[in-house]
Structures are given as structure tokens and as C-alpha cells.
Amino acid sequence: MKRIDLFAVLFFTLFASEVWAQPNSAEESNVVEQRIESISSLLDESSELDYTALVEDLNYFLAHPLNLNQASAADLQSLMVLSDTQINALFFHIKKFGPLRSVFELQQVRGFDAGTIRWLLPFVFVSESVGFNDFSWLRLKEEGSHDLMYRTKTTLQKQAGFINDSNTGKPAYLGSRYGHYLRYRFQYRRNIFAGVTLENDIGESFQQGPDFRSAGIFIRDAKWLKAFAIGDYQVQFGQGLTCWNSLGFGKSAYAVQVKKNAQGFRPYSSVNENLFFRGVAATVGNKNWSLSAFASRKKLDANVSGDSLVQDDGLVISSLALGGLHRTTQELADKDVLTETVYGGNVQYEKGVWKTGVVGVVQQFSDSIQARSDWYNQYRFSGKQNHVMGWYGEGVWRNISMFSEMSRSANGAFAGIAGFSAALHNSVSVSVVYRNYEKDFQSVYSAVFAEGSPNIPSNEKGVYMGLQAQLSKYLSITAYTDGVAFPWLRYQVSAPSVFADHLIQLNYKPDKKHELYIRYRNRKTSINQNVTSGIDFPVDRMNQQVRLNFIFSPTAEIRLHSRLEWVDYQEEGQSREQGYLVFQDITWKKLNMPVSITARYALFRTDGWNARMYAYENDVLYSYSIPPYYGTGARAYLILKFDIRRNIDFWIRFAQWTYTDRTIISSGNSEIQGPRKSDLTLQLRMKF
């Protein structure tokens, strides 16, 4: 590939800015995409986050802006824009000067800079009434919104799982080459939710109906009944250490936003077949006190150990199957093998900006879980029952937001996290997080700040420090450093080890049309290296990444997004792996036009899997894609959105991988003969 081809894609917009320099008013719908991309931009192999809830929240607030005069701290926190100190400053401003008369009054609130207000404006407004204060059945009928959506997707090339086996004469996959997704949602403001979700993945049989079914009703802020859920729901308490089974962010480009903002119970709207509870939950209370209780029972996929043949008291489970796929006879045999019962509660006291609480959760299985015999798994949970108790606290003192949580599992092991974010100056903010998860801590449901698995926090001690500073009107800097020690063995590391992660990002935004950032990230850790004697011993490995990202809006209708990223992976005793990714996005959205277009063309080359890079991709509404780029080839996608009528829209997404370093893609049942993999998604949405 000629060098000029590589760099022409990236720097097209740099030259275009001189030709198309015109006044610009940014499209609000791009705000959601930019927010998700920034949060997911540090994704690596340990991150398996479900962004569905965040995508839905931001899109809802975009269509139904939040009333700043009546918004709760939890609602403001769910925007993922404001820090606790900024929220506290807003409440203080309203208390002192009365309700806001205009959103432009935010300029007078302490700690609200131009960048924060710009991010916030699409999601908020100013009014006097909200929630159940003026509830009536007539309002429920008039203001309630119905959302019906159907989505289907397929891979155009035939995968090996759909080809008849030479011995059996039948394909391995039991279903069709099309995946299906159907959902209905009813919502009244932010107070009443009801919905049903049905899904079949590609290759799953439809003979017994949809493979995944989810339904639930949720009520929020009905006077003394602060929350009520029946059906499927999610739980968030504290900092995610004791009980949290929904989306929980870790490190991101927002270096000082490290505190989690628990919402207690929230409706479930994703198709992740594990991260939810199925049953009933409720929170009751007054201004200061609240009491929460929940109970859940659902089936889990699991692999049965061969030792079960000699057991008299039930099966022995060797591992949980968390993929949620039931395409083959074996995958179907693992479906719903295990019954999980979870119950718990929370008591919380809140006064002003301070809150503290205790939370407990018990997890029971119908059959025994057997931990693997590997040395690093020595302290993992085994048995039929586990429980965790925890305490958490948080608050704001002057310009400092503080938070902490401590938990104890059934085996007596402890885990704790504590930190703060502080506005040292109107232009400078810092954050510090300390965590200590003992090697034998056994969590139930967690999503805590961690370098290891946030869902299984153990064997980790670390200190994180973040910085965000506005150097001038147009220039800002973001940076963090994270030092971690692992006292016990880990996967592929047969000795205690350490980890270091450093990031610095320089942001330049001279006006509304242009936005540029340059990022450098360096991660250093250990990995086993096998010698000829067969003995594993840890060696150093380092991963460096440099990213140049440029966004330019030449007109109100066109948005251009360019990126060049380079990665360097070094492992002691092994060959260096390097790679690059360069892409060009273009989005065209014109007011009063029924069609909008989003497209990307990307070129990439890496020496191997270790040098892979992740990049957020635009997708159909309420969906997202963050694939790994590795090997050598090109990636392209095109999204067309048609506004058929005022409340009906239709989406088409075509995406294709084209590799130049292979003639076979993937392996096993997912194997495709040829250098191309093409995916097609169709989505129809009706609102009424």
C-alpha cells in the first residue's frame, strides 16, 4: 500500500477545512456518539461493557431534556457530564438565587466552564413541574410514549456452522443465518417504564420461540415509593463493590470522573443474558432514609463437570457459560442448567450531599460450583452459597467529592475502595482512587474500579491519580497514572507482579467547527514466557499507543472525523509487534431532509493480535459496535437512516472487513472462506 494512500484518508479533513470554512451549528445527535466514544476509547481485552443503558439514557435525555430546576442528583449523574462538585454547586445556586430562569444562567454557576455547558445543553431545559407532582391518568395517556422496534442482522458470507457436516449431513448451527430483535417500551417521563424484549442471535433455533425473553415494569419517585420493579431489573449500590450488576465504567478519557453514581434499582433494557436480576425489588423512604429490598431467581448457562456422574447431591458445575449463545447442540445442552437465587437489601441515610449505607447480598445455586485447579484460581469461589456485606459513604465538602466502600465476603476476606475528586481551581481538577482487594475476596455481583476484572475484584492493590486542566480558552490537558500490585498469581502470570498505566492527552478546540486531540498511553505489566525446559516465568511486556484524532464540521450538515493511531507491543524475548489504524468518518444530516448518511473507511495493519486496536463505530439506534482491528486490511461501513414519517424511521447498516493477509476469517463454526466478512443490519422503529 502506498504511503500517500494511508495518510490521504486521515488528513483529508485538514485540507478540507481551508476550503469549507463556514459558520457551523453542530448537530445535537452527534453528542451521544462522541460521549460513548470517549468513554469506550480505552477499551482493552479485559473490558466487556454493555453500553445499552447509557445509550438509552443519553438518547432519552436528548429527546426529553432534563428539567434542571427539578432534577435529582441521580438524574444529573446519569448524564455522565457533571462531577459531584458541579452538581452540588448547581443545587447551591438554585437554593440561594431561586429556580433557574434560563439554561444560560449556568454560566453563573461555580465550576461550570464553557466545555461543560456545551456538553450539557442538549440534555437539559428549565421548567417548573416534573415527575408525579402533576400526575393524572390523562397526563399518562397524553405524555406516555410508546416505542416499538424490530431489528434483523446477518452475515452475508456463509459461516462454517451453516454448512452441512460430511458425517451427519446437518449443519452445526440449529437456526437460521438471521438474528432477530424485537422490543417494546412504554415510558412516562422518567417515572414509569414498561417493556418487553425478544431476541434470537444468528444461528439460534426459533422452534421454541425467541431464545431470550425479557420483560419488566419499573416505577420511580412515586412519593414514598422511591423505586419499584417487577420482572427484569438491575441493581446499583455504593461504588460497585458489594452489589452492582449493570454498566460500571473504569478508566476513560475523562480522567477525573472516577466515582460511580449508584441509582439503586433501574429498569433493564439490554440483551445481555446474565447481567440482570429477575424478580421483584422496591425502595421506600423519605427525604433522609431509604430501605431497599430485592429478590431474584433465574436460570444460568453452565458447563457440567465429569465428576457429576459420581455425585449424589446434584451436579458439579465446572464453569459458567456467559456468552448467551445457543446455536449448537452443545451450547443448547448448557442452557439453563443452573438455577441462581439472589436476594439482599440496602439501608441508606442521606442528608444534603452526604449519604451512607449498608448493603448485603446473598447468592445461592441449585448445584455446586467447582473452582478450577489452576494455581491462580486457588481462591476463587466454590460451593453453593456465597454472601457479601458492605458499607459505603460519599459526600461533598467544599470543592472535594469523596467516596468509599468496604466489603466482606462469606469466607472473611475484605475488599475496599476509597477516593476523591477535587476542583483545585476553576481550571484544574484532580482525582485519586485507592483500592485494595484481597486475593481471596469472593464477590457476588460487582462492577468496581479495577485493572483486573471489575466483575471479580480480588488480588489487587493500586493507586490511581487523574488530572484535568484548562490551560487556555482553547487548550486543555487530561492525564492519569495508575500503579497496581498483584500479590498473588494471575492468568498467564505465575508469580506476584505489578502493573503501570500512564496516559496524557492534549485537547485543542479553537471553535465549534474544529476539535483535535493527541493522546499517548503507556502500559507495562508481566506475562509468562515458556522456555524450552517447559518452565513458565514472568517477563516484562509494554504496550504504547499514540493517537491523533480530528473532528471538523465544515457546515451544519456535515461532520468529518479522522483518526490516526499507532501501537507498539514489546514482550521480553519476543519479536516486537507494531501496527497502525487510520480512518475517515463522514456524517451528513440535513434538517427537513428524510435521509441521513454515516460512513467510515479505515485502513489498518498490525503484526499480530497483541498489537490490536479498538475503535467505536456508529450503529443503528440503541446499538453500538467496538470491534478490534488487527491483521492487515480495510474496514468500511455505511449507515442510512430514512425518516419515513414523523414517528417512523428505518435504518440500514452495511459493514465489511476486507483482509489482505488471509483467505480464511475466524475459525470453528464461525469460519468464513475468503478474505471478506460482510454484515447487514436492518432496523425499523415506530413511536406513538
User: Which 3-state string (H, E, C) describes 32-91?
Assistant: HHHHHHHHHCCCCCCCCCCCHHHHHHHHHHHHCCEECCCCCHHHHHHCCCCCHHHHHHHH
Q: What count of Cα atoms within 13 Å lies in the side-chain half-sphere of residue 75?
A: 21
**Boundaries of domain holding 344:** 228-483
Signed CA dihedral, 106, 107, 113, 118: sign only: positive
How far apart are alpha carbons 679 and 664 in whole angstroms? 16
Residue 207 lies in a domain: no
**CA–CA distance, 54 with 79 (Å, rounded to integer):** 8
| Residue 462, in any domain of the structure | yes
Q: Please report whether residue 477 resides in a domain.
A: yes
Q: How many angstroms from the chain centroid is the CA of residue 459? A: 23
Residue 110 lies in a domain: no
Closest listed residue to residue 444, CA positions, set 559, 638, 274: 274
Domain presence at residue 253: yes
User: How far apart are alpha carbons 493 and 445 in whole angstroms?
Assistant: 25
Q: Structural domain tally of the chain?
A: 1
Please state the separation of Cα 279 from the chain's center in Å: 24
Helix (H, G, I), strand (E, B) or coil at 137: helix
Give 380: exposed, middle or buried? Use CB within 10 Å, 0-12, 13-18, 19+: middle
- The reply to whether 434 falls in a domain is yes
Of the candidates 26, 116, 41, 22, the residue with the CA atom closest to the CA atom of residue 76 = 116
Give me the pLDDT at residue 9, please: 40
Is 382 part of any domain? yes
Tell me, what's the pLDDT at 516?
95
pLDDT of residue 31: 67
Report the chain (688 residues): mean pLDDT per 10 consecutive residues: 41 38 44 67 51 70 77 75 79 81 81 77 72 75 90 96 90 95 91 94 92 94 93 95 83 85 90 91 95 97 70 73 90 93 96 93 94 82 95 91 96 96 89 96 93 90 95 93 95 92 95 92 90 74 96 92 96 92 94 92 96 92 87 97 92 97 94 96 94
In 3D, which of 500, 492, 499 has the Cα closest to residue 528?
492
The whole-model pTM stands at: 0.85
The predicted pLDDT at position 40 comes to: 62
Whether residue 321 is contained in a domain is answered as: yes
